[in-house]
Amino acid sequence: MQVALVGLGVMGKNLALNLIEKGMTLVAYDRNPEAGAELISCAQSLGMAERLHIVSDLGDMIRRLETPRSILLLVPAGELVDKVCSDLVEAGASKDDIIVDCGNSNYKDGIDRKLKYQNKFEFATMGISGGAEGARHGPAMMASGSEGGWERIEPWFEKVAASYNGESCFARVGQSASGHFVKMVHNGIEYALMQLIAELYQLLRLGTGRTPKQVAEIFESWSEGNLNSYLLAISSHILSLETEQGESLVDLIDNKVGAKGTGLWTAQNALELGIAVPSLVAAVQARHLTNTIDTPAAKEMTYANKSTLQIEVDLEELKSAFYFASLLCYRQGLALIKGASRSHQWKVDLNKTLQTWRAGCIIRADYLDDIAQGVEFIDTLDHESQALRSVAAKAMATGLSFPVLSATQTYIATLSTPSNGHLVQAQRDYFGEHGIKTHSGEMCHLTDLVEIDAKVR
């Protein structure tokens, strides 16, 4: 199998080594010649250079490839993707070629590009998770679009991706640009899980007075059971690290958190589609809050430091609450994917989506089987639900910040206890005459139900 790769940054270089290790012949290009030289050097040291060809321009790449061509793009999202696509057309790409955008592009751009290039080549999208390590040894790969083009390269990518219990973590999850939407939501779930773990660390560290090493030990013990996950494991490892002077690594790190945009896109698209994902949105806002000093609203968002309280926490109850909250973060993400799939008619397969997340990716976890059982399984977790209520209440009493923990409790409470929406409906109609809907399904106004002599002015 012959494939081309454009973009030899950290992800591109490691994916290139993975591709040739799995037996593919690779033609690779990067506008920075040093990137190609570095890749050749790595391939030579591993004894795999005979299957690698570095080219100096896209025209040379097109000429070297057998038709129909398969070309992967791992370049920064945005205008550069379109620039490379246009350059490939000028270089000789043809209608039967498949070009796969493997970067973190906005799925809306993918939809537009599929239409823009439909008579020039087959455009497809694929989200890749796992970072540099995953790209090198087996990532999660969420592909979409172009049925015909994928058929000839799919068997190879099933080998390149990570595997779980003998099944590949590569899948064509749906049509059009759904692969990038799934990867976007994957990142939104990632934001929420990272923040949730950080909040539990904060509760144990400042709420109960434990040291980072003691918290690391608790997280490690949880990882030995059904809570084992990549993010919990790396958090335990990070919290155990100390300098030669015995200082905890985390105490040396500034609190400002960066982001590359996919979490924000998740929140924006959820709001546009009218699908509630409060835990994922709270995680995005939590990152924004760490950077308030650098925003135009800095003075309006700067308050005096407040003291906090310490509490007693039952570790088994905390473990149950974390498990339940984690499940709900995934369920919110899957609901968003399903809603978008219906809206865009993508026919996304949630089982295939979960399969891609089982190994190689950042949000892999042993409890994905529990998530796959759906809402019916969630409804059986009465003990865990009570644990989340209890822990959220105790956590808030400390005075510390728990945006994802509290948002997750609010999410499940709103969907499983009486709502307060009736009063909000009445308020809207009172001042704006937007109408109300009664329990019988009738649409009317407050004044149709009761006499109002004079409204508050």
How far apart are alpha carbons 329 and 189 in whole angstroms?
6
Residue 256 designated active-site: no
Phi, psi of 321 (to 5 degrees): -65, -40
Rounded to 5°, the CA angle 64-62-127 comes to 110
> Residue 27: beta bridge partners?
4, 53
Cβ–Cβ < 8 Å for 26, 52: yes
455 carries an active-site annotation: no
Instruction: Give one DSSP letter per residue of 206-226, joined into a string.
Output: IIT---HHHHHHHHHHHHTTT
- How many CB atoms sit inside 10 A of residue 159's CB? 17
Chain centroid offset of residue 405 CA: 18
Q: Which residues contact 396 (CB under 8 A, 6 or more apart)?
A: 402, 406
Question: Cα–Cα distance between 368 and 333 in angstroms, integer?
Answer: 13
Residue 359 CA to residue 229 CA, distance in Å, equals 10
d(CA 124, CA 72): 9
Tell me which DSSP letter residue 204 carries.
I
Kindly name the residue from 114, 183, 319, 394 that is annotated as catalytic.
183
3-state secondary structure of 98: strand
> Exposure string (b/e) for 308-342, b if CB count within 10 Å is 16 or more?
eeeeebeeebbbbbbbbbbbbbbbbbbbbbebbbe
Residue type at 321 in one-letter notation: A
Q: Among the options 122, 190, 199, 384, which is catalytic?
A: 190
Residues annotated as catalytic (active site), given as ranges: 183, 190
